[in-house]
Structure 1
């Protein structure tokens, strides 16, 4: 019975629900109710709101310095995309409160047009996850999660930052809850002239026309309609504008504007041996491109999604758990000056997951999923995970899965060039987690292997335009490692989080490394606290990165190391004043050819907690 109790604690949408209690106290409603189950079998890296304050410029900067993901950014604040375990941008799923939010048109997430502030956890899961999170969850998934706490009363916080290049970041949050009702609202406004200079070997790069601004509003509410029933709502609105950098003073100035709306309603039932979560969501993604910032838009699109999802979880016995998930989506889109008219796609899926807990030290999970994508033949997906704790200092986990990515609206309908005969990309993933713990150290070594077939690429045609095709196969393998260390000496507190990744991504036709996949990447974050003073330092090393498909060394991005540091003081546990220096060593570095990121720059910030 102890196993069952601990698992219901993890599986429940309420973070503090205990079967031994008749009434839950200080409970937490979690919108992504699958994440607690995922953590039973997979390593998940959690980034807290306090971690976000170390890299508040945008989501690209945060992921670059606090994760193993390689971020390709066309200049600070501009177009940005992820490479997770050597995959391309379309092989990372962005998941907002359990809902996949990758663009219908691009089939991926634009990192710098996804809000940074307003989440309670930002979680990163490596490896395949299409059985749970759908298309694109091949290299990994990035989870933007909110929760709502009960019995916490009133709380509020304010964060404000002024930084180099006329950059200003402001974030405010307020919440209220009692034993039956919880409410939380937050807002963020970021703006920057972003006119930085980079001097390298006698040349000066000026980030002309690089300004950006964006606004985000998050609102969430939850109400207990009965002792084990909760109805909840989460809503996010985002509005952003990016000006794209130009290389010469009289160059043509362009910009990109985007608006997103995400709204989710959930009805959750939690009893001793079963739980059910019914969700209905509406998401909207609109964008406009301006070929001349002083003229009307040149192109654009509007995308709308209607999503219905039911997640049923039942304990057949205290050791056997079955999870059945059904989902139906209606994806709609309309393009402007792209040849894409009014298009629509219906998507359904059914998945079943069986979990078996033999002992407290050994557990297994097996899942199968079938997607029904209109006009596209989709494969049967599967997953298998096992975790074993044979020794007090050693854990081992094994994960095998088949995953996929179906073609985007641009791949199918863009004119000219769209291809209605495209097949989904599919992958087979295999990875292991070897976790070693001794004293204050924990080391995780994760070798991985995957192959991706029917890779979708845009290639030139004899007709003079580019078109989408299913092309080559890619084999990817490597090693992720993660080290954590915590130590207290009286009032001295030390925390170290560091990671290293080795990535090989080989095009099976050319036998060459894929573009923008560094062989080596390492990150490290060191925190020290004494009394009211906190100090942090973070470093990132990125190895040689090819920017062409033929591994041309002269066009490759050279290795680089970037170091940031900051100090902050907190008075009366409420008032914090801090100072940060980014790129202390004044390193010249690029993540995309021709677009260097800023050299040494500074920021001053203050926060108040009520």
Structure 2
């Protein structure tokens, strides 16, 4: 059955060029989304789109943006250090990060460090909850974060310059220009961040030593109509960073970490009548150098280059029925001091169907088959549906099978790699209720995720750490998302909040996994009057265990904490051509003593001043 499915998809992909010629010429949309699957094939999926104002109040840090504005929990090895998410109780490698429709999780460790992603580089950011392996591949088990660069085809030219300074000698500078016409467009952005990061460890006489960091982000996005049916788009992102790794409360550090990520994608889109075709050619490069002693030249190296080719073909039979096929091939070649020169080839075939039989019901059925060199061949599926029962009430439901394949580190790291690992396999179901009113929106979701063969690094009998497939893990819980906005004359009020209750336990021991809080919540308040905006953000994270024994004590668990930020922005002038705004943010205003990784304190009360000029 799986082979028949594969050949059907191959046939549809090969024939797409011929089929596309039989219909009339159609002008392309003014803006073509980078990831249409997120919009057109997700009737029963919870998706949260972060607004421009939310992005501007959390500039530069994707970790802070999502920690204060989503249900996702983060643990950081100190401010600015490695940041790992836990989405619905899953691990960092079970959260996919999608860049313009492409999964960019590391081939080395299977995850994305959220402190290496600058939010200023993207026009929009979306949060997709639940399993998404059919559309986005390995690792999309708990959910996915979507980083989008939307291209605007219209006569425009604008430049934004932002600069900031804050505590711990923290500096940032960013320039972003967007210009173009109805036939072509360009967006170019450069952002630089630098910090001594020498904050005080509250309650002690120590400071965060060896914590300085700096990084450079550059984005170049281009688009051009080559005919009234065809458009070429080029996306490129470069990240170059250097961080000294902070010490802990019980030990100093002299280490340094240099890393770089280069991502390039050329995309050709063609639309003729009911048919549309997209061809993407992508190159992903990741590299790190780890220095045990920053004052010496000795380091360990790891790098991977990935070439990816993706072709999708979409048929809109009518306004109610759509069908899409996706063929994708990727070749990843690694090189490193600890894993020699591994190579991985992956080929996948995907079919997506969305049907809306009437104005109240929409459902989707999706299938995917992967073929991976040297490993099993995951077959996954998903079904989802949305029901508009009343004018302001909707039910969403989805179920899926998802997977994560072992990474290069899992398989080949020496010493410790395990070539006998099998892919993680996960089943999940999600039920959501949406209450939508003109000025008020509430989303309630309950979910259950069962994961088998989870990959976990553990010490063996000789003390050597090695990854193994452990038994079953179950994650289940409930989420609440609330948003409201009111306008009274020139006064604008915005309120948003999230709460999640999460159980994530090893079914063999019936114990909660480490670094997964039972309770997490946040609240954001904003008030705007003419040129003044004032906002407040609050985040609560409950207690977490730091060892698998689940013993409550000083060295086996971390207490919950509350952190609040407050800020004020003032617009000096704003017209069609120019805008000048300044703002100040006070972070951790209550001077909360807290850690989200054991023995690694987070910053005391601190400030940041921003100046933004648009012309």
What does 1:157-306 align with in structure 2 at a 5 Å threshold? Answer: 157-200=160-203, 203-247=204-248, 251-306=252-307
1:358 aligns with 2:360: no
Determine the C-alpha separation between the residues in 2 that align with 1:184 and 1:539: 34
141, 151, 155: which one aligns with 1:138: 141
Q: After superposition, where does 1:375-454 map in structure 2 within 5 Å?
A: 375-438=374-437, 440-454=439-453
Residue 591 of structure 2 is aligned to residue 586 of structure 1: yes
Mean Cα displacement is larger for which, 565-574 or 367-376? 565-574
Query: How far did residue 277 of structure 1 move?
Result: 1.0
What is residue 599 of structure 1 aligned with on the other side?
A: 604
SS in 2 for 1:515: coil
* Number of aligned residues: 587
| Alpha-carbon contact 1:512-1:549 (below 8 Å) kept | yes
| Aligned-partner Cα distance in 2 for 1:488–1:20 | 46
**Structure 2 residue 494 is matched with structure 1 residue 489:** no
The Cα shift of 1:56 comes to 2.8
Distance apart, 1:600 and its partner CA: 1.0
How many Å separate the matches in 1 of 2:371 and 2:473?
25
Q: In the aligned structure 2, how far is the partner of 1:320 from the partner of 1:446? A: 27
- Judge which range, 249-258 or 147-156, deviates more: 249-258
Per-residue CA shift, 1:451-480, capped at 9, x if unaligned?
A: 010011112223441211111210110001
Quote the Cα distance in structure 2 between the aligned partners of 1:39 and 1:185: 31
Structure 1, unpaired ranges of 5+: 1-18
From the superposition, tell whether residues 440 and 80 of structure 1 become closer, same or farther in structure 2 (CA, over 3 Å): same
Distance in 2, matches of 1:335 and 1:225, equals 42
Q: CA deviation at 1:581?
A: 0.7
1:192 offset after TM fit, Å?
0.1
User: Is the Cα contact below 8 Å between 1:113 and 1:258 reproduced in 2?
Assistant: no
- Which residues in structure 2 correspond to 1:295-334 (within 5 Å)? 295-334=296-335
Q: Give the deviation of 1:22 after TM superposition.
A: 7.3
Moved over 6 A (4+): 19-22
CA RMSD of aligned residues (A): 1.8
Q: 1:79 aligns with which of 78, 82, 86?
A: 82
Query: Residue 60 of structure 1 aligns to a residue in which SS?
Result: helix
Alpha-carbon distance in structure 2 between the residues aligned to 1:247 and 1:459: 22
What displacement does 1:89 show?
0.9
Q: What's the counterpart of residue 5 of structure 1?
A: none
- Aligned pairs (5 A) from 1:85-164: 85-164=88-167
Deviates more, 1:61-70 or 1:433-442: 433-442
- Distance in 1 of aligned mates of 2:251 and 2:494: 49
Q: Is the 8 A contact 2:248 2:600 kept in 1?
A: no
1:47 match: 50
Structure 2 counterpart of 1:9? none
Aligned residue in 2 for 1:569: 570
Please give the alpha-carbon distance, in whole angstroms, between the structure 2 residues aligned to 1:438 and 1:603.
Answer: 36
- Relative to structure 1, the CA distance from residue 504 to residue 180 in structure 2 (aligned partners, 3 Å threshold; closer, same or farther) is same
Deviation track 1:435-494 (CA, whole Å, cap 9, x = no partner) reads: 113452211000000101001111222344121111121011000110011101000111
- The question of whether the paired residues in 2 share the 8 Å contact of 1:274 and 1:314 is answered with yes
| Contact 1:218/1:235 (<8 A) preserved | yes
Q: Secondary structure at the match of 1:143?
A: strand
Whether the 8 Å contact between 2:210 and 2:253 is mirrored in structure 1 is no
**Alignment partner of 2:201: what SS?**
strand
Quickly say closer, same or farther: Cα 1:264–1:145, change in 2 above 3 A: same
Please say if residues 208 and 247 of structure 1, whose CA atoms lie closer than 8 Å, have aligned partners that are also in contact: no
Q: CA separation in 2, counterparts of 1:21 and 1:271?
A: 5
Distance in structure 2 (CA, Å) of the matches to 1:484 and 1:249: 42
Contact 2:505 2:512 in 1 (8 A): yes
> If the length of structure 1 is used for normalisation, what is the TM-score?
0.93
Q: Is the 8 A contact 1:115 1:238 kept in 2?
A: no
Matched-pair contact (CA < 8 Å) for 1:288–1:297: no
In 2, Cα distance between equivalents of 1:29 and 1:184? 15
SS across alignment from 2:544? coil
Partners of 1:245 and 1:566 in 2: CA distance? 28
1:553 corresponding residue in structure 2: 552
Counterpart-to-counterpart distance in 1, 2:378 and 2:250: 51
SS of equivalent to 1:104? coil
Query: Shift of residue 525 of structure 1?
Result: 1.2
Query: In 2, Cα distance between the equivalents of 1:456 and 1:46?
Result: 31
Change over 3 Å in CA distance of 1:297–1:125 after alignment to 2 = farther
For residues 83-110 of structure 1, the C-alpha deviation after alignment (integer angstroms, 9 at most, x for no partner) is 0000111100111111111111101112
Query: What pairs with 1:10-21 in structure 2 (closer than 5 Å)?
Result: none
Decide whether aligned partners of structure 1 residues 57 and 263 sit closer, same or farther in structure 2, where only a CA change above 3 A counts.
Answer: closer
Given the superposition, is the C-alpha separation of residues 24 and 387 from structure 1 closer, same or farther in structure 2, using an over 3 Å criterion?
Answer: same
Partner-residue secondary structure (3-state), 2:333 = strand
Range with greater deviation from structure 2 (148-157 or 501-510)? 148-157
